C-alpha cells in the first residue's frame, strides 16, 4: 500500500472522493492540493497519485487554497502563503525543502526510513543510532546558518521521536495499539514529506492550580467525548512554532498527569485544516515593518519565524490518529522525552544562528574600521567560544544517546538539559557582544524611505559612511540585520525563544536536580576525606 493511512479504514478526517479511474480515493478533508493517499478500484489497489513535496515551490503550493480558520491582526485570512507577515516564516520552512537540493548536504538532510527503506527527510526520521542524533544537530546548525532564524520544522520531528518510544512502552504496559498507529501515521508523513507541528504547551491559566483544578476545565487541552469512532478534544496550545506553516498538528500533553487527570493525558495528530481548529498569529517586535514594503528596515527580509495560538473547539480525532488517551502513567514520559529532544535541538539551531551573529560582528568591525582592535577581536573570540560550547552540548547529549526498548535512540537527558540551560544564557551574551561591537546606530538608523529620498540620500551617504571602499548602504544593511537579530523580529527566535522554547530555564533546573545523583557524589567526597559514618 502506497502512502497508507493506518490500515486504510475511512475515518472522520478522511473523506472518500471519486478518483479519475473510478476508484475511491481516500483524501484528507481540507486536502493539500492533490494528495491522494490510497486508490481502491475493482481490480484492487492502484498506484496513488500525489503531488510530491520535494522543492520549496511544491511545499508552498501544498499550503495554497487550503481552508483553515486563521486570524492575523484581527482579520480572518484565507491565503496565508502570500501574506507578508507569514511569508518570511514560510520561506524558512521552505528552506528545509530547498536545501535538500544541495548534494553536499545529502547525508545530513536525508535518512533511510526504518519503516520502508525509502530516502526521506531527516525531519521525519526516527533516530536509530547516535550518528542519527549527531546528524540531526548538524542539520539544525546548517539550517540556522542559512535562515538566521527558527525554521520551525523540528518540533514535529522531536514529537515523533518522543512518542515513538513511549507508545511502545505504553502498549507493553496497557495492551494498547498506539505504537502501530504511530508508525502508520509516520509512514504517511514520511511518504508525503509533510510538515508536522508538535504542540505541547497548554495555556495553563492559574499556574498554581493543577489541570483539573482550573476554574475553566478547558484551560488544559482535554478529551470531552469519546465513542467507537474516536475522541473529541477541546483546549488551546500556545506559542506554536510554525503552526500556520504545518500540514499536520501532533498534540501531546503538557505535563505529567495524575490518576484523576486522565482526560488531559492525550496525544493525537490531526490535519491542521480539521473543523474546529483556529489559529491566531502571534506578534513579534517590529513585525509590521514587513507590511511597509521596506525590506531594508526588516533586516532579514527573506526569512522569519512564526508562532501562533491554536484553539481546538470540539475537534474530532479518529482512533487511528490517537496515540495516548487516559494512560496517565505515560504522559510525564512524553513530556520529558519531547523536552529532552527539543533541548538537544537548540544545541544545533541556535548555534547556526549564532554563526550569523559572529559573522555580522566581524563584518561590522571591518566596515567600521575596528577589526584590528584587540578588545574587538577578543569579544569575537568570546562569541565563538560561547557558540561552540552550545554546539558541544548538542553533540555531547547526542553521542551519549542510548537505545530505547522500542529500538529508537534517545539523547542523554541530563546533557540535553544542560545544553538548553546554557542556551537560556549564552545567546543573550552573544547578542550583547554583537551590539557592543556594532554600536548604537543599530537602533538609531534612518528609515529605508530616507535613503530613497533624493534630497536626503546624498547626505546620509556622506555622514553614515564607514571605511573607504564600503558603500554606506552595505553598512546600513548589515546594521539592520543586526537590529533584526538582537532587537527586532529575529530576536523573538534568537533571544526569547532561547529562554522559553523547549521549556523555561527553571524546567531544565528541575530536571538537572532530579537526574543528578547527589548521594553518589557525597560518597565520593566522603571517601577522599576519610569520613566514616
Ligand atoms: Fe527548530 Fe530551533 Fe525553531 Fe525549535 S527553535 S523549531 S529547534 S529551529
Ligand atoms: Fe523553539
Domain of 475, CATH number, reads 1.20.140.10
The pLDDT tens digits for 125-177 are 999 999 999 999 999 999 999 999 999 999 999 999 999 999 999 999 999 99
Ligand 1 touching residue 241 (CB < 6 A): yes
Asked whether residue 317 is assigned to any structural domain, the reply reads no
| pLDDT given at position 20 | 33
What is the mean pLDDT of the segment spanning 473-486? 98
Residues of the domain holding 372: 331-522
Sequence length of the chain is: 533
Counting the structural domains of the chain, the total is 1
d(CA 359, CA 148): 11
> Which segment of 31-35, 197-201, 382-386, 446-450 scores lowest on mean pLDDT?
31-35
pLDDT at 272: 96
What is the whole-number distance in angstroms between the Cα of residue 507 and the centre of ligand 1? 18
Contacts of 154 (CB under 8 A, 6+ apart): 123, 140, 342, 345, 349
Q: Whose CA is nearest to atom 2 of ligand 1?
A: 349
Residues 60 and 79: beta-carbon distance below 8 Å: no
Return the residue whose CA atom lies nearest to atom 1 of ligand 1.
154
Q: Is the CB of 155 under 6 A from ligand 1?
A: yes
Q: What are phi and psi of 439, to 5 degrees?
A: 95, 170
Has residue 485 been placed in a domain? yes
**pLDDT > 70: percent of the chain:** 90
d(CA 163, CA 208): 28
* pLDDT, tens digit, 9 for 90 and up, residues 234-258: 999 999 999 999 999 999 999 999 9
Ligand nearest to the CA of 157: 1
**467 located within any domain:** yes
Measured from the CB, is residue 349 less than 6 Å from ligand 1?
yes
Distance 284 CA to ligand 2 centre (A): 14
Confidence bin at 6 (pLDDT 50/70/90): very low
**For residue 61, is it within any domain?**
no
Residue 26 clears pLDDT 90, i.e. is over it: no
Q: Does some domain include residue 430?
A: yes
In a domain, 397, yes or no: yes
Q: Which residue has the higher pLDDT, 14 or 494?
A: 494
261 lines ligand 1 (CB under 6 A): no
Tell whether the model's pLDDT for residue 29 goes beyond 50: no
218 C-alpha to ligand 2 centroid (Å): 24
- Tell me, yes or no, whether 418 lies in a domain: yes
pLDDT at 32 over 50: no
Which residue has the CA at smallest separation from atom 3 of ligand 1?
150
Q: Measured from the CA of 144, which atom of ligand 1 is nearest?
A: 8
Please tell me the residue having the least CA distance from ligand 1 atom 7: 345
Whether 65 is in a domain gets the answer no
Q: What does pTM read for this prediction?
A: 0.90
Ligand 1 atom with minimal separation from the 158 CA: 7
- Indicate if ligand 1 lies below 6 Å from the C-beta of 170: no
Which atom of ligand 1 is the closest one to the Cα of 345? 7
Cell of 397: 547529549
Q: CB 513: neighbour CB atoms within 10 A?
A: 10
Q: Does ligand 1 come within 6 angstroms of the Cβ of 501?
A: yes
| pLDDT average, residue stretch 380-402 | 98
Q: Degrees (nearest 5) of the Cα angle 306, 341, 359?
A: 60
Average pLDDT, the chain: 90
What is the rounded CA–CA span in Å between residue 353 and residue 334? 28
- For residue 136, the tally of other CB atoms under 10 A from its CB is 28
Confidence of residue 101 (pLDDT cuts 50, 70, 90): low
Protein residue with least CA distance to atom 5, ligand 1: 150
Active site amino acids: 150, 154, 241, 307, 342, 346, 349, 497
Amino acid at each position: 500500500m502506497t502512502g497508507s493511512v493506518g490500515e486504510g479504514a475511512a475515518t472522520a478526517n478522511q473523506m472518500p472522493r471519486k478518483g479519475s479511474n473510478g476508484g475511491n480515493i481516500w483524501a484528507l478533508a481540507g486536502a493539500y492540493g492533490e494528495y491522494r493517499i490510497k486508490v481502491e478500484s475493482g481490480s484492487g489497489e492502484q498506484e496513488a497519485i500525489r503531488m510530491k513535496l520535494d522543492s520549496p515551490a511544491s511545499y508552498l503550493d501544498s499550503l495554497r487554497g487550503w481552508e483553515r480558520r486563521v486570524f492575523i491582526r484581527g482579520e480572518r485570512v484565507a491565503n496565508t502563503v502570500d501574506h507578508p507577515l507569514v511569508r518570511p516564516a514560510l520561506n524558512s520552512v521552505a528552506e528545509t525543502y530547498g536545501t535538500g537540493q544541495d548534494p553536499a548536504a545529502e547525508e545530513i538532510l536525508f535518512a533511510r526510513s526504518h519503516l520502508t527503506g525509502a530516502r526521506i527527510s531527516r525531519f521525519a526520521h526516527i533516530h536509530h543510532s547516535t550518528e542519527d542524533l549527531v546528524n540531526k544537530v548538524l542539520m539544525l546548525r546548517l539550517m540556522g546558518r542559512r535562515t538566521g532564524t527558527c525554521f520551525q520544522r523540528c518540533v514535529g520531528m522531536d514529537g515523533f521521536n518522543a512518542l515513538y518510544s513511549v507508545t511502545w512502552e505504553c502498549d507493553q504496559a496497557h495492551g494498547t495499539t498506539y505504537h502501530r498507529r504511530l508508525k502508520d501515521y509516520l509512514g504517511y508523513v514520511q511518504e508525503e514529506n509533510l510538515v508536522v507541528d508538535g504542540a505541547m504547551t497548554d495555556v495553563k491559566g492559574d499556574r498554581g492550580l493543577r489541570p483539573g483544578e482550573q476554574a475553566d476545565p478547558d484551560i488544559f487541552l482535554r478529551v470531552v467525548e469519546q465513542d467507537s469512532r474516536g475522541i473529541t478534544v477541546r483546549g488551546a496550545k500556545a506559542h506554536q512554532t510554525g503552526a500556520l506553516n504545518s500540514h499536520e498538528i501532533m498534540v501531546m500533553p503538557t505535563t505529567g498527569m495524575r490518576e484523576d487527570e486522565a482526560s488531559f493525558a492525550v496525544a493525537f495528530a490531526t490535519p491542521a485544516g480539521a473543523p474546529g481548529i483556529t489559529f491566531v498569529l502571534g506578534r513579534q517586535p517590529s513585525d509590521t515593518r514587513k507590511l511597509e514594503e521596506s525590506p531594508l528596515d526588516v533586516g532579514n527580509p527573506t526569512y522569519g519565524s512564526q508562532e501562533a495560538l491554536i484553539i481546538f473547539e470540539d475537534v474530532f480525532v479518529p482512533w487511528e490518529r490517537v496515540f495516548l488517551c487516559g494512560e496517565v502513567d505515560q504522559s510525564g514520559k512524553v513530556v520529558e522525552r519531547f523536552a529532552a529532544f527539543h533541548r538537544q535541538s537548540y544545541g544545533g539551531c541556535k548555534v547556526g544562528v549564532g554563526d550569523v551573529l559572529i559573522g555580522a560582528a566581524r563584518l561590522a568591525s571591518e566596515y567600521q574600521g575596528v577589526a584590528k582592535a584587540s578588545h574587538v577581536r577578543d569579544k569575537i573570540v568570546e562569541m565563538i567560544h560561547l557558540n561552540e560550547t552550545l554546539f558541544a552540548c548538542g553533540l555531547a547529549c547526542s553521542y551519549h544517546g542510548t537505545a530505547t526498548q522500542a529500538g529508537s535512540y534517545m539523547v542523554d537527558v541530563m546533557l540535553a538539559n544542560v545544553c538548553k540551560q546554557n542556551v537560556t544564557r549564552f545567546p543573550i551574551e552573544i547578542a550583547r557582544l554583537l551590539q557592543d561591537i556594532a554600536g548604537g546606530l543599530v537602533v538609531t538608523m534612518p528609515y529605508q524611505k530616507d535613503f530613497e529620498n533624493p534630497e536626503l540620500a546624498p547626505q546620509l551617504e556622506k555622514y553614515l559612511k564607514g571605511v573607504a571602499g564600503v558603500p554606506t548602504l552595505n553598512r546600513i544593511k548589515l546594521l539592520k540585520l543586526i537590529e533584526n537579530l538582537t532587537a527586532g523580529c529575529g530576536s523573538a527566535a534568537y533571544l526569547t525563544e532561547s529562554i522559553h522554547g523547549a521549556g523555561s530555564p527553571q524546567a531544565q533546573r528541575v530536571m538537572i536536580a532530579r537526574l543528578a545523583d547527589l548521594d553518589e557524589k557525597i560518597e565520593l567526597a566522603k571517601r577522599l576525606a576519610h569520613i566514616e559514618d
